[in-house]
Structure 1
Amino acid sequence: MIEIPSDLHKDVVPLAFLLGTWEGAGVYDFPGTEKCNFGQEIVIRHDGRPFLEFRSRTWVLNEEGEKVRPLENEHAFWRITSNHDGTTGARGIEISSVRDDGTVEIWYGELADGKPQVDVSTDAVARIEGSPEYSGGKRLYGFVNGELLWVGEKAAPNVPLRPYMSAQLKKVLSPAQLIKDINDLPDDGIAFFK
């Protein structure tokens, strides 16, 4: 079930399925780097203005699933744009993001019509000196059976666009939600087990 907070700006209501803290794991594989499994935490929140704030932290996992070292972090702002041609249906998405390796990206894409799915591609990429070679990318995010699934594609000057990261994430309940759920139990707690 997708809940829409009462103070969510009306312009980003179609992105409400993304809100929350998500955790899970995925696979990282790009030429010139070590292939690995990674853990990820994504926090997507709002403050009442017409955008969502997106923060992602990833880390390399060993074979036992333990954190080994940081992989990459990203901070972004997601907005919905209006259809300039006056049509209804899919709505435009724009994302401005920065990664800890010194990469800044502008993404454009669409929110699928009638389903919780976002498909975006880079429009502009800027890198500081020393950041990894990177010329563009694509991402697909989808809310499937209560989970957030995503896949990222990446291109570099000598590597054509190809999948390089994907993850399956589960929503983490906040302590406030847990307390609300506890408050919904019968007073004695025993009736719950009958």
Structure 2
Amino acid sequence: MTASGDEAIQAAEKRAESTRDRNLPQFDDMPIPGDTANLREGPNLNDACLALLPLVGVWRGEGEVDYPTIEGPYRFGMQLTIAHDGRPFLAHEARAWLLDEDGKVIRPAARESGFWRPQADDTIELLLTHNTGIVELFYGKPRGKASVPAWELGTDAVVRTSTAKDVTASQRLYGIVNGELGFVEERAMMGQELQPHTSALLRRVVG
């Protein structure tokens, strides 16, 4: 087990050779600490967020979206930014874009933003607001182990505008395997039961 942990650390350091010097753009005239997606820069990560430490960074890659109510599956690109400002939460922003069969960008797609709020009992609150008029409140806990960390969350509440799709529930699983961030989402919407909706594999580009 120790050797496996050592190997994971060495592999992370190797990957960080190309990302350690990158961070979010900063404004020097901000009167308060700016967000950082690089644990080597900016304020120290709050102790309350240590269980989420592996998530901090900017991640980019591709995924697939499919559901009975669409003519999929469709490929998409995605960038996920998870940053902090030293307080006991992480800021979350994800942007996606649809891709054609050759990997060329068709158009911008989903956007979401929110906060990861870890609690003293290891519970994680994740609040997400979507550009499609949906607000989701997830609860979950860390899963996996130190060498393969993971986080599993499910919705406790879903709020929709009058023009949003009829989403009633969602589950998410985030996990880091071989230095890449895997993401799987299940959704119950448009009269369908909870089932796979999107998945993606992202590589670290900052942090």
Give TM-score scaled by structure 1 length: 0.81
Is 1:123 the counterpart of 2:156 in the alignment?
yes
Residue 48 of structure 1 corresponds to which residue in structure 2?
Answer: 86
Alpha-carbon distance in 2 for matches of 1:67, 1:50: 36
Q: List per-residue Cα deviations over 1:30-68 (Å, max 9, x = no partner).
A: 122232000000011000110000100011100111111
1:38-117 aligned at under 5 Å gives the runs 38-83=76-121, 91-112=122-143, 114-115=145-146, 116-117=149-150
Question: Which residue is equivalent to 1:179?
Answer: none
Within the alignment, does 1:170 sit opposite 2:191 as a pair? no
Q: Distance in 2 between matches of 1:41 and 1:120?
A: 20
Counterpart CA distance in 2 for 1:166 and 1:113 is 19
How do 1:128-143 and structure 2 match up within 5 A? 128-143=161-176
- The 3-state SS of whatever aligns with 2:50 is helix
- Paired letter, 2:145: G
Alpha-carbon contact 1:4-1:13 (below 8 Å) kept: no
The one-letter code of the counterpart of 2:125 is: E
Q: Provide the residue aligned with 1:154 in structure 2.
A: 187
Change (3 A) 1:17 1:110: same
Residue of structure 1 equivalent to 2:68:
31
1:17 aligns with 2:17: no
Cα separation, 1, equivalents of 2:111 and 2:198: 13
Partners of 1:41 and 1:34 in 2: CA distance: 24
2:23 matched to which residue of 1?
none
Identity among equivalent positions (%) equals 37
Alignment size in residue pairs: 167
DSSP 3-state at the match of 1:129: coil
- Partner Cα distance (2:114, 2:158) in 1: 14
* CA-based RMSD: 1.6
5+ residue gaps, structure 1, are: 84-90, 175-194
Q: Secondary structure at the match of 1:17?
A: helix
Question: Which is higher, the Rg of structure 1 or of structure 2?
Answer: 1
